[in-house]
Amino acid sequence: MEKIVFVTHNKGKIESAKRILKDVDLEIFEYDLDEPRSDDIAYISKTKVLKGFNLVKKPCISLDCGFWIDELNGFPKAFVNFALETIGIEGILKLMEGISNRACRFTECLSYYDGEYLHQFMGSHEGTLAKNLRGNDSNQKWSDLWYIFIPAGYTKTLAEMSEEERKNRKKIASTDAFLEFANWYNIEKNASILQRKR
């Protein structure tokens, strides 16, 4: 199967892709794709992967993420960058002052397009919101939300965890879009190899 290009400028997503998609012949094309204004991450991911394919003319993947806070009716949803650029992490924490229900989740959609077929893979990571910023910077960080997101089953934010802890943590109430894609892709690759041998 052909090399797959991941078109993104997000260093954290690149690190995750390299780690999880180690069995995929992956090429990184660092480019900041424009995003449509929408709260539908599947639509945003689809739009970005089609733009990516038009740019590199090879099979592509694109990953888009959202962040949902139950008590804020889902805010900021797919508008994470806008929320962080305007009110910032401190603003999000201020909106949650005095609120005991701190349930939240990252959602993600990975889109794969080979020039003919589009496949999409959804992921979700449940957790709770810390009451203040906690942790250290990391090249694996996708977003500043890592400083306030505590994965389900843990008491530390993602930013407080060591690289080893993040790598080996049990993903409770969690589905990873990269893994969903990797499993599908390996099945497709093996089927393609078998077909060529016949």
In the set 64, 114, 144, 176, the catalytic residue is 64
Task: Fill in the amino acid letter for 77.
Answer: K
* 41-50, 131-140, 153-162: least confident range: 131-140
Around Cβ 37, how many Cβ atoms within 10 Å? 8
Give yes or no for residue 197 having a pLDDT over 80.
no
Question: What confidence tier does 196 reach under pLDDT thresholds 50, 70, 90?
Answer: low
Q: What is the CATH number assigned to the segment(s) 4-197?
A: 3.90.950.10
64 is catalytic: yes
B/e letters for 41-65, b = 16+ CB within 10 Å, e = fewer, are bbbbbbbbbbbbbeeeebbbbbbbb
pLDDT value at position 131? 96
Q: What is the pLDDT of residues 66-79, one digit of tens each?
A: 999 999 999 999 99
pLDDT value at position 188? 81
Between CA 140 and CA 1 the distance in angstroms is: 28
Crossing angle for the helix pair 11-20 and 177-197, to the nearest 10 degrees: 40
pLDDT value at position 173? 82
CA atoms within a 13 Å half-sphere pointing along the CA-CB vector of 104? 27
The predicted model scores a pTM of 0.87
Q: What is the pLDDT of residues 52-104, one digit of tens each?
A: 999 999 999 999 999 999 999 999 999 998 999 999 999 999 999 999 999 99
Between CA 6 and CA 29 the distance in angstroms is: 6
